[in-house]
Chains A and B, each alone.
Chain A
């Protein structure tokens, strides 16, 4: 059974960089797209980035200049960095796998989520 677990600081100061890591167990990180999805308090889920071990990446347009993603196959981990954070970046951040199970890929495995609060 594939499992994902987010880790990182739960509190980040405004203007600093949010850094999260997702550790994948029970399966290989190679051959799949891996994503970050966030949910601000009281708002809908927002898909913000994905990465593949071949180097393919994509970031949501509204955050494109602030997002960096990376993937380490030796550690079965992938990471998210979001720079110059503000209170608007306060959210539960989920990592998720995109499984090829239909006409396109869908999120078939998710981490439990980590609440990141941006505050001084």
Chain B
């Protein structure tokens, strides 16, 4: 089973700042990686798929990069509604495992 490790566990930032989240895989997942946003009491929302493609309706301030084992989700300028937990998920094999999450909190 592929293990995804996200860092940092918590990111404390102010609105308007840039957020950089990392996801590292225990073995290559090629570009088959997604990022999700989850707010308390809500279902996860797909942000990025195939490592760098934005899902429908996702603002341009969200971007993804990376391939193989190292991936990054960048939020260029945090809006108040972006404070949430972010998960990465690999889709190269079954079952597609998730990272443990990074919480982006207001500083």
Contact = CB atoms under 8 A, between A and B. Distances in A.
Chain B binding surface SS class: loop
A101 B49 CA distance: 8
A94 B41 CA distance: 12
A17 to B, nearest CB: 22
Interface residues of B, number: 26
Nearest to A103: B50
A112 interface: yes
29 contacts: A44-B99, A45-B44, A45-B87, A45-B89, A45-B98, A46-B95, A46-B98, A47-B96, A58-B94, A60-B95, A94-B43, A94-B44, A96-B43, A101-B49, A101-B55, A102-B32, A103-B31, A103-B32, A104-B32, A104-B92, A106-B46, A106-B91, A107-B34, A107-B44, A108-B55, A110-B45, A111-B43, A112-B41, A113-B43
What are the 8 closest A-B residue pairs judged by CB atoms, nearest first?
Answer: A110-B43, A102-B50, A45-B98, A102-B49, A47-B95, A106-B49, A104-B91, A60-B95
